[in-house]
Structure 1
């Protein structure tokens, strides 16, 4: 066992906190620390993870107040005087300890019309896609979103307005709006221009700052603001 120890404070669903003395190892991640606590100190601790290699995003938690993928966050990078505080993702209901209910997050994808709107059948020719077009570039820019909800947890607008659709759902809407194969343009613009839509965004940029995949939801939301404004004036004529 190593000589160095880490003071780990973990939020509990009871409303309190538990503090653990965890051994420090080389190349140790925050997820490693949480796993050590559950396996060696408190088997009742609940948390969520899957791949452990930075692919699925299911291990996202608040680490010293910042949303992160814990499997890709080395503990040495976030320690503050040998201590770290780990909490469940912000802006989502807590199921137990470090596990949050993702249903509200995915419900907002549906609310933003973030689902493919197809109009062709299997008998129709495949819709052509111009990979070099400006619209395709915009669509591709957000396609690597894996629904980890880090941007949602980082968003102060979501914290202050529970009806706000949030950066991930709006980025998905922007992706589909620019997809030549999607035929739901009117439905998407109507969905994202409502009371919880893109115009609630204050452009603070936390979503873009903290996205682990280095996507840019803030720019996608700005695009939706432009397109909804254009649509409003066109319809007003």
Structure 2
């Protein structure tokens, strides 16, 4: 095995550059090194002007999401040896404005997320010390998969619908909403219905499924969306046939 490997890294400063370009860097090829280790080596030893995000290095924070050889991935969990002999192309996540180099602006997601109310909603608001909401293991299992989202944005980068329809709520936001819809302690599903079942919500999804393929935590956003489509259709039919039953 070679001692080094080439990383082809996107360099782009929107305020100065006309277009992104790839710059080659030779880095050590070590069995234990992830792509993120190679980027940190470049930053520390070769070119301190390179910009990228990272935090935990443990696949938990979601900060280090980038496009590696054409696929959205967490660079802390993508190993150089799996891409040898190289070169390894490292680019920013697709479908987001580039701030600089490998850093993207996720402001669109952050603005959309509160619209689906991704928190426990209660009709009553008892004091914390006065009440305890117990759950069975089966009730926890209902939503646990969707609670594993780390907001890494890989699903948005992989989603062709979001790429052409920027008003689409997107996979992570809908999956997080479904996480609370399925929580036995939550009473806010009816408050999320109008947003989720709108034209830019679940019905914009064409079920390509790339979001689920890209997800590093097995959240299955595509499954969450399809499951909620059934819920929304059932509630719509119920409200038409039994208008007195609307909440």
For 2:90, the equivalent position in structure 1 comes to 86
5 Å-filtered alignment, 1:1-237, equals 4-13=3-12, 14=17, 15-79=20-84, 81-118=85-122, 119-122=124-127, 124-133=130-139, 136-237=140-241
More displaced 10-residue stretch of structure 1: 15-24 or 178-187:
15-24
| Cα-to-partner distance string for 1:174-196 (whole Å, 9 max, x where unaligned) | 11111122121111111101121
TM-score, normalised with respect to structure 1: 0.91
Deviation, 1:124, is 4.8
Cα distance in structure 1, aligned partners of 2:27 and 2:136:
53
Deviation, 1:83, is 0.3
**Equivalent residues of 2:29, 2:81 under 8 A apart:** no
Cα distance in structure 1, aligned partners of 2:81 and 2:164:
32
Q: How many residues align?
A: 233
Cα distance in structure 1, aligned partners of 2:238 and 2:83:
50
Query: SS of 2:138's equivalent?
Result: coil
**Equivalent residues of 2:97, 2:105 under 8 A apart:** yes
Give the unaligned 5+ runs of structure 1. none
Query: SS of 1:105's equivalent?
Result: helix
Deviation, 1:3, is 5.7
Cα distance in structure 2, aligned partners of 1:128 and 1:235:
31
Cα distance in structure 1, aligned partners of 2:111 and 2:142:
24
TM-score, normalised with respect to structure 2: 0.88
Cα distance in structure 2, aligned partners of 1:161 and 1:211:
20
Q: CA RMSD in A?
A: 1.8
